[in-house]
Structure 1
């Protein structure tokens, strides 16, 4: 009955308000074996010290900038 109250006869009538992040402001990078945030930063920014920006952009999945794993997908912000 809640579905009818919200405005539809069946669940397909309800539309989700989902916003997709603007991918023009970042890249996605899949970590390869042996990579570090510093190496990834050097590749994208030509400056290994910018690893901090990558770490901050991925703070939801990374707790330590020295610990990343192969096949993790990281967000690389455009600077």
Structure 2
């Protein structure tokens, strides 16, 4: 299998995420990718995809992914039926960290139990 084909899922994810200034080259049997993700969360998604395709220490890929906005972990648009606990579980793996999200958004949230679809929340770095 060609190295580019092996990591096609990573390349597709990068396109879906809208990685800025991205480029891909194959040199000496290695896939070289670079670009800028909007947030750390998106960068982590790319690294997770790289590990899924190539194992924990893939030697056939070199990736240089920068982060455009390091002041936040992610930005999240609330969907119908979501709670801060569900959102915290999605980003942090722990629903009890919903308070961190609430504290980062007190400018738009007055109560952690009242969030509405289409609100854009800041998911803070921990």
When normalised by structure 1's length, the TM-score is 0.70
- Where does residue 116 of structure 2 map in the other structure? 69
1:38 and 2:113 are equivalent in the alignment = no
What are the ranges of 5 or more consecutive residues in structure 2 without an aligned counterpart? 1-67
| Higher RCO (C-alpha 8 Å, min separation 6) | 1
Instruction: Give the root-mean-square deviation of aligned CA atoms.
Output: 1.1
Partner residue, 2:35: none
Going by fraction, where is strand more abundant, 1 or 2? 2
Partner of 1:49: 96
Aligned with residue 107 of structure 2, among 53, 60, 69: 60
Structure 1 residue runs of 5 or longer lacking an equivalent are 1-21
Residue by residue over 1:35-76, the C-alpha shift from the partner in whole angstroms, topping out at 9 and shown as x without a partner, is: 000000000000000000000000000000000000000000
Shift of 1:78: 1.5
Consecutive aligned runs of 4 or more in structure 1 exceeding 4 Å deviation: none
